[in-house]
C-alpha cells in the first residue's frame, strides 16, 4: 500500500513539474503581405482602460496615452506576494497599427511592482514572446535577437545577461 502511494505521489510530482514549463501566455507575430497577424494564447479579451487608470497605468503609460490605446487583459499568474496581468498598448498612425504586449506585476494591494514588454510589432522591437509557468520569459525578435528574463519572488522582472 505504501509503495503504491509513493508511486502515485511521484507521478503527480512529475506531471506537476512538467506543467510549469508550459506557456501561460504566448504571443506570435506572423508577417504577411497585408500586414502583421498577431496570435496570442490563451485568447483573452482586452478591455480599454478608462476608469481605473490610477491602478493600471505606470508613469510611462501616462505619457503614451496620447498616442496609444491602453487595454487590460486577464491575470495570468498569482502568488501570495504578487500577480501578473497582460497590458496591451495599441498605437495607430498613418503607417499602420502597432502593438506592445506588456507583462505587469502588481502587489497584493494592487500597486504596480514592475513592467516588461514581452512582445511587440513596433519596427525596432518586432518580437514574439512567451512566459511559462516557472515565470521564464523568452522574447525572440525578427533580427534573430533572443532575450530571456525571469520574475523574482517579489514580482520584479530580471533580464538575464
Delimit the domains of the chain by residue range: 22-160
- Contacts of residues 37-41 at CB distance under 8 Å and 24 or more positions apart, as own/partner, are 38/99, 38/121, 40/101, 40/119
- Contacts of residues 99-106 at CB distance under 8 Å and 24 or more positions apart, as own/partner, are 99/38, 100/125, 101/27, 101/40, 101/129, 103/25, 103/76, 103/131, 103/137, 103/157, 104/56, 104/58, 105/151, 105/155, 105/156, 105/157, 106/82, 106/155
How many other C-beta atoms can be found within 10 angstroms of the C-beta atom of residue 108? 12
**DSSP 8-class letter at 111:** -
Phi and psi at 122, nearest 5°, equal -70, 135
Q: Rounded distance, CA 19 to CA 12, Å? A: 11
How long, in residues, is the chain?
161
| pLDDT value at residue 9 | 39
Q: Given a cut of 70, is residue 12 above it in pLDDT?
A: no
pLDDT tens digits, one per residue of 23-56: 999 999 887 766 778 888 888 888 887 766 767 7
pLDDT tens digits, one per residue of 61-100: 766 766 788 899 999 999 999 999 999 999 888 778 889 9
| pLDDT value at residue 40 | 87
H helices present in the chain, as ranges: 2-19, 53-56, 59-64
Amino acid at each position: 500500500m505504501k509503495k503504491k502511494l509513493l508511486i502515485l505521489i511521484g507521478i503527480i510530482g512529475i506531471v506537476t513539474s512538467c506543467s510549469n514549463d508550459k506557456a501561460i501566455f504566448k504571443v506570435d507575430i506572423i508577417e504577411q503581405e497585408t500586414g502583421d497577424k498577431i496570435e496570442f494564447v490563451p485568447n483573452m479579451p482586452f478591455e480599454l482602460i478608462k476608469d481605473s487608470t490610477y491602478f493600471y497605468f505606470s508613469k510611462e503609460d501616462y505619457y503614451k496615452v496620447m498616442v496609444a490605446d491602453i487595454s487590460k487583459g486577464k491575470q495570468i499568474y498569482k502568488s501570495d506576494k504578487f500577480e501578473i496581468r497582460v497590458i496591451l498598448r495599441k498605437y495607430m498612425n498613418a503607417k499602420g497599427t502597432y502593438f506592445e504586449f506588456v507583462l505587469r506585476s502588481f502587489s497584493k494591494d494592487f500597486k504596480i511592482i514592475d513592467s516588461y514588454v514581452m512582445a511587440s510589432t513596433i519596427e525596432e522591437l518586432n518580437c514574439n514572446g512567451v512566459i511559462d509557468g516557472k515565470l521564464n520569459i523568452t522574447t525572440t525578435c525578427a533580427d534573430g535577437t533572443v532575450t530571456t528574463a525571469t520574475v523574482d519572488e517579489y514580482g520584479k522582472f530580471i533580464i538575464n545577461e
